Amino acid sequence: MFNSILNGLSGLGAGFVNMHWANPVMIIVGCILLYLGIKKDVEPLLLVPIGFGAILVNIPLSGLMEEGGFLKTIYDMGVSNEIFPLLIFIGIGAMTDFGPLLENPKIFLLGAAGQFGMFLTIGLALFFGFSKLDAVAIGVIGACDGPTAIYVTSKYAPHLLGAVSVAAYSYMALVPVIQPPIMRLLTTEKERVITMDSKTQPVSKTAKIIFPILVTVIGGLIAPKGLPLLGTIMLGNLMKESGVVSRLAKASENEIANVVTLLLGISIGATMNGELFLKPQTLLILAFGFVAICLDTVCGVLFGKLMNVVTGGKVNPLIGAAGISAYPMAARVVQREGLKYNRFNFLLMHAAGANTGGQVGSVIATAIMLSILHGMGIIS
C-alpha cells in the first residue's frame, strides 16, 4: 500500500525529473516568440501558435510529437506532405491584386532582382559547410515568403523546419527595420526624390483572368517542380478575378487560411524540440536568413538604379526594394521612404506592383531552383 502510494507520487512531477537542459531554454524561446507576437505585433498569426507549440513540445513525456500524438498527427496531416503551405498559397492568391503589376509589366523585373539574395545565400551556406539541400532550404528564407520556405524545407530539409520557419516569419516582420538603411545607403538623395508617372494604364478583366492561367501554364512548363506553388497561388487569384466563385475565394482567404495557419503554426512550433533545435547550426541559419533578406534588398535597389538609367531617370530606385515577397510591407516601406524625401511623391502603386512581382518572383525562383536540383539529379 505504502509502495503503491510512493509509485503513484513518483509519476507526479515526472516532467521535471526528465527535463533536458535545452527544454527550459526553448520554453523561454517560445515565450519570447509569444511576446513578439502579442506585445510587439510581429507576425502574430504565426508567432503565437509557433511559440505555444515550442512550449508544448519542450515539456517532457507529453508524447505530443510521438506517433499518434496530437501534434505529430497534425504535422503528418499537413506539413510533412506540404498540404498546409499550399492551402495557404491559395488564400494568398485570392488576396493578391496583380492589377498594379499588370498596369506596368516591366516592374516584373524588379520581382526577379528581389530574389537574387536567395541564390547568393545558397552559395554562402555551401561555403560554410551546409549540405546542398540544407543550403537550398536556408536560401529560400530569402524568398521572404513563409509558405514557400516551409514547403521547400519540409520537403527537402525537414530537420531545419523550425529554424527556417522562425527566421522566415521573423525577418518578414522586420522588413520595415531591415530595408530602410540599405535603401538609403545605396541611393543618392537625387534618386530618392524622383517622382514616377502616376498615370494609370487600365487592365481589362479578361487580361486579369488570363494572367494566372498563362503564368501557370508557361511557368509550369519551364519549371515543373514548382508547379504546386505556382498553381495554387494562381488558382486563388483566378477565383478572385473571375468573380464567379466569390464564396470559394472568400473561404480560401479567410476560413481555410485561418484554420491552416493555426495548424501550420502549432506544428512548426512542435519541431522546436530543444535537444534538436539548440545547436550552433540554428544560429547560423538565423544569420543567413538575415543576410538573404539584406541581399534581396541590395539586388532590388541596384536593379532599380539600373532601370532608372535605362529609362532615362523615370524609375525611382527605391521601388526596387519592394521586389520581395513580403506583401504589402515592402511596398509600404518604399512609400514611407519616398515621402520622407519628397512629400509629394506617391510611390505606393509602383511599389505595390514591384511587391506583387516579388510574390510571383519568389515562387518562380523557387520553382527554378527545384527544377535545377531535379535537372542535376539531386532530387527526384
Partner 1 sequence: MDNWTFGFTMVIVGMGGTLVVLSLFAILMVILKKIFPASKHKVSE
Q: Single out the residue of 121, 124, 172, 113 nearest to residue 148, CA to CA.
A: 172
Residue numbers 285-344 binding partner 1 by CB under 8 A: none
- Smallest distance from partner 1 to CB 158, Å: 21
Size of residue set near partner 1 by CB under 8 A: 46
Q: In this structure, how many other beta carbons lie within 10 angstroms of the beta carbon of residue 342?
A: 15
Asked whether 114 and 324 are in contact (CB, 8 A), the reply is yes
- Smallest distance from partner 1 to CB 164, Å: 17
- Smallest distance from partner 1 to CB 230, Å: 11
Q: What is the dihedral of CA 339, 345, 346, 350, to 10 degrees?
A: -110
The interface mask with partner 1, positions 340-369, x = CB under 8 A, is: -----------------x--xx--xx--xx
Q: Which is nearer to partner 1, 201 or 380 (CB)?
A: 201
Q: In this structure, how many other beta carbons lie within 10 angstroms of the beta carbon of residue 258?
A: 13
- Smallest distance from partner 1 to CB 66, Å: 36
Q: Which is nearer to partner 1, 45 or 368 (CB)?
A: 368
Q: Using N-to-C axis directions, what is the helix angle for 348-375 and 116-127, rounded to 10°? A: 50
Residue numbers 123-162 binding partner 1 by CB under 8 A: 123, 126-127, 132, 135-136
- Smallest distance from partner 1 to CB 185, Å: 22
d(CA 86, CA 53): 21
- Smallest distance from partner 1 to CB 205, Å: 7
Q: What is the dihedral of CA 43, 46, 52, 58, to 10 degrees?
A: -110
Binds partner 1 (CB under 8 A): choice among 52, 84, 89, 119: 119
Asked whether 10 and 133 are in contact (CB, 8 A), the reply is no
d(CA 288, CA 348): 29
Residue positions counted in the chain: 380
The interface mask with partner 1, positions 197-236, x = CB under 8 A, is: ----xxxxxxx--xx--xx--xx--xx-------------
Q: What does the DSSP assignment read for 166-188?
A: HHHHHHHHTHHHHHHHHHHHHS-
Q: Which is nearer to partner 1, 82 or 296 (CB)?
A: 296
Residue type, 282: T
d(CA 252, CA 229): 15
Residue numbers 159-198 binding partner 1 by CB under 8 A: none
Cell numbers for 76: 503528418
- Smallest distance from partner 1 to CB 212, Å: 11
- Smallest distance from partner 1 to CB 71, Å: 34
- Smallest distance from partner 1 to CB 210, Å: 6
Residue numbers 75-114 binding partner 1 by CB under 8 A: 101-102, 105-106, 108-109, 111-113
Cell numbers for 199: 498615370
The 3-state DSSP class for residue 114 equals coil
120 binds partner 1 (CB under 8 A): yes
Binds partner 1 (CB under 8 A): choice among 54, 71, 118, 166: 118
Helix H or strand E segment including 359: helix 348-375
Q: Using N-to-C axis directions, what is the helix angle for 161-173 and 280-310, rounded to 10°? A: 40
Q: Which is nearer to partner 1, 124 or 178 (CB)?
A: 124
Binding positions for partner 1, rule: CB under 8 A: 101-102, 105-106, 108-109, 111-113, 115-116, 118-120, 122-123, 126-127, 132, 135-136, 201-207, 210-211, 214-215, 218-219, 222-223, 357, 360-361, 364-365, 368-369, 372, 376, 378
